[in-house]
Structure formats: structure tokens, C-alpha cells
Amino acid sequence: MRRKMVNNRLKMVIAILIVFSLVYSIGFITPMNSDDYTYALRELSLSSVKMHYLGWSGRVVSDTISTSLLKFFSPHIYNAINSAALTLMVLCWTMIPATLTKSSPSPYVMIFLFFLYFIANPALGQTNFWLVGSANYLWTNMFIAIYILISIYLSNGKKSNVILFVYAISSIFAGCSNENTSLVVVLISVVYFFIMNRNKYLLIGVFGSAIGAGVLLLAPGNLSRASTIQDWYNQPIAWRVLEHFSERLPSAMGAYWQVYIAFIILLISVVLSRNSSSKLMFGSFLFILGAIAANVAFLASPAMPSRALNGALCFMILSISFVAHSAFTKFNKASIYLSVTTYAMAFLYFIPSYILYYSSIKSISKQTEIREEIIDRAKHNKQDQAIIPDYYFPPVLHAGPSLDTFNSEAMSRYYGIDLKITAPGFFDYSRAFNFKPLNINAKICNN
């Protein structure tokens, strides 16, 4: 028994290293992008945080994280920290159903969940590799996963002053996540409190998540920003409801189709193996509702960008983690083929998806080197302006480009020279600058 536990822990360590290595291989070559320049120049002081909170956004946690990482760490270091955050989130997803059933986490489940998160993400680069985007959409969901995991630890009777302190902090951070996930976290906290016979320690999570949600949603900056986008709010409420539930919500939920296919096959596998647990099935159902609620919450928002769908995706993967834990921990002849097929499907989809995404980021990294060489040359020649080409984003399997396409005005301040960015290119110019020049005047033959 002890040897089996040691072997499983070793496998979990290997799974963690695999996930981290796959993420950091991309993160290591990811350049600064979009609003990274703005937040790298932002002051990290109470007055600056207050000004941002009052004038722009209630995302105090994510804004502070992005500024801190960009100001105090080199790119390779903050990308390593960012990769560790994604790895920790997937690890928490793996441990949540295992902790609920008081069983060992499965390394196979962890890698499977990572595959799903990677291939089903509607805006992979904007939510995980663009640093400001990851602070808003990766780190916040990581805090939610940590909070849910500690909630289950407490309900299992594992409590200490340290755990209670971390629980209180994580509940506030989870509540202060995103506008569409904050209230979902509060509702899940309330439901879990009553399910666990009103465990008094879980009240810390209920109040903490409510405080975090209040800090986020009641920020004056939200109203200030919303006042600049009036088209949506000028429409009748009935029109907004119809538009959201007939057009925006179905489109958003449909973005996770890979997760649905895996969920259905694994659920059939669990039924055939007779390994279903009422706790796991209820947990799965609860987080499906959480995913739907997270996207329903956009009814109050004029915009529904693809990166904002990451919260509901994380709830969907949390939902499938319960089913996957059942499917990959007990087999019979009828179910093993379905479980293996699901794993193989995710893996075979992941391979080209990862290769294309890595190649795209590598190209963008080379393009960044070219742009910075042009900037350095212009500064060396004491020019007032540098003209640099916009990025060409090589195609990927995911919807949209591999990184955010916004060109921040803060780039000029960051590099210390006025920058003019040309129209988007239609070819990968990194190849033209990194290959041996072709002599077009060379003789083909002597005749």
C-alpha cells in the first residue's frame, strides 16, 4: 500500500513537470504584448492602485499581479511564474475530486485535463501567455480552484490556523476574480455551505468571496468605463435579453465543444464501469451550472470577448474532472475502450494544436527581435521616430490569433522613441530576416 502511494506521488510529480515544461516551452519565447507595456510602466503604489480602481477597473488583484510581475522580474522569470500558475490550476482541478472522495489524485487525469484546457480554450494566448491577460483570466481562475480545493479540505475536517488563514485570503481573491465569475463563486460557496450541514468554517469562504465580489463589482471604475459604451445599454431590456440568450450565449457555450464530446464519452464509460459516485456526479452537475451561469452573467455586459469565456471553460473542466476521476480510476472490459478512446482523441488533437501554436509564438518572437533591432538602430542614429512592421500571426488551430493584436501607445514610452507601426503584414517576415540571402544574379549555367 505504501509503495503504491509512493509510486503515485512520483507519477504526479512527473505529470506536474510535463505540464509545466509544455507550458513554459511556449512561455519562454513569448514576448511582451499589447497592454504589457502599459502595466510595465504603471506605478505600483497605493495612490496608483486607487486611481485605477476609481477610474477604470475593480480588478485589484489581477491588475496588481500583472504590474508586479512586469516591474520586478525579467521576462523569462515572470513567464516561468506564469507557467507555474497554470500548472497549479490544473493540479488543483485534479485534486478536487480526489480530495472530495478521499482518494489519490491521478496523474493521467491531470495530463488529460491539461490537454482539454489547451485545445478547448477560445483564446489561449490572450488568457495564458499574454501576461496582462493571464493575470485577468488565468490567475483569477487559479485562485478559484485553490479556494474550492481548500473548501473541501475543511469540510473533510482538516483545519489549522494556517489553512484557515489561506482559506480566507483565497476566498477574497476568488470573489475578486472576474465580473462574470465572482457571483458564481459566491453562489457555489453558499450551496456548499448548506450541503455540508452549515459547517461554520465554510462561512469564512461565503463572507470572503462576497467581500471580494463586492470590491470587484462595486468599483467606481466599472461605471466610469461602462459610460463610454452606451450602445448596448440604450437598447430595450427585452431586446438585450433576447439577443443574449438567442445569439451570444449559445455561441459562447458552443466554443467548448471538445469538452462536451469528452464529457459524454467519459460519462458513458463511468456508467458502464458502475463507478459513479453521488458526490462526484453532484459536483460535476454543480460546476456545469456554474459554467452556464458565468456566461449568462454577460447579459449585463455590452461586450463578450472570447478571452472572457475562459471562466466558464474552467468551470466546465472542473465539471469533467469529477467524471474523469471516476473514469480513469476504475475500468472494466466495457468501459476501458471508451476511456482510452477519449484520452487518445484529446492527445491526437493536442499534438497539432501545440505544434502550430508553438510555431506561431516562435515566429512572433523572431518578429519581435527584428522590430527591436529596427528600434535600436533608430535610437542609435538619433532619429525621432522608428517605423516597425506590425505582427504577422501564423495560423493556429484555435480561433483567433495566437496573441492579442492590440498595439499599445505605451510602447513608445517603453522604448523611449516614437513608434509608427505599419499595416498588418500578409507574410511571415521573420523567415526573410533569418534565412541565408538568395543571390538573384547568380549564373544558372555557363551557356
Q: Per residue in 350-398, pLDDT tens?
A: 999 999 999 999 999 999 999 999 999 999 999 999 999 999 999 999 8
Q: Per residue in 266-304, pLDDT tens?
A: 999 998 887 778 889 999 999 999 999 999 999 988 889
Query: Are 349 and 382 in a shared domain?
Result: no
User: What is the pLDDT, as a whole number, of residue 56?
Assistant: 83
* Total domains present in the chain: 2
The confidence band for 1, taking pLDDT boundaries of 50, 70 and 90, is: low
> What number is the average pLDDT over the span 3-13?
86
Query: Are 386 and 293 in a shared domain?
Result: no
Query: Are 237 and 382 in a shared domain?
Result: no
Query: Are 217 and 309 in a shared domain?
Result: yes
Determine contact, residues 354/366, Cβ cutoff 8 Å: no
Give the chain's mean pLDDT.
92
Percent of the chain past pLDDT 70, that is, above it, reads 95
Query: Are 279 and 153 in a shared domain?
Result: yes
Query: Are 257 and 387 in a shared domain?
Result: no
Query: Are 150 and 83 in a shared domain?
Result: yes
**Cα 132–chain centre separation:** 11
> Is the pLDDT higher at 200 or at 439?
200
> What number is the average pLDDT over the span 17-25?
98
Helices (H), 28-59: 36-41, 46-55
Q: Would residue 23 count as lying in a domain?
A: yes
> Is the pLDDT higher at 390 or at 332?
390
Of 328, 357, 386, the position where a domain reaches its end is 357
pLDDT above 80 (res 447): no
Q: Would residue 369 count as lying in a domain?
A: yes
Taking the C-alpha atoms of residue 197 and residue 367, their distance in angstroms, rounded to an integer, is 58
Of 341, 357, 373, the position where a domain reaches its end is 357
> What number is the average pLDDT over the span 71-85?
97
Q: Would residue 446 count as lying in a domain?
A: no
Range 143-155 burial, b when 16+ CB lie within 10 A, else e: bbbbbbbbbbbbb
pLDDT above 80 (res 40): yes
Query: Are 178 and 243 in a shared domain?
Result: yes
Query: Are 284 and 304 in a shared domain?
Result: yes
Q: Would residue 295 count as lying in a domain?
A: yes
> What number is the average pLDDT over the span 344-352?
97
Q: Per residue in 43-56, pLDDT tens?
A: 888 888 888 898 88
Query: Which residues, at least 6 apart from 259, have a Cβ–Cβ distance to it below 8 Å?
Result: 116, 120, 313, 316, 317, 320
Q: Would residue 7 count as lying in a domain?
A: no
Domain range for residue 421? 358-434
Q: Would residue 89 count as lying in a domain?
A: yes
Query: Are 380 and 287 in a shared domain?
Result: no
Taking the C-alpha atoms of residue 325 and residue 321, their distance in angstroms, rounded to an integer, is 6
Determine contact, residues 171/205, Cβ cutoff 8 Å: yes
Q: Would residue 2 count as lying in a domain?
A: no
Of 337, 357, 377, the position where a domain reaches its end is 357
Q: Would residue 443 count as lying in a domain?
A: no
Query: Are 271 and 346 in a shared domain?
Result: yes
Query: Are 222 and 326 in a shared domain?
Result: yes
pLDDT above 90 (res 180): yes
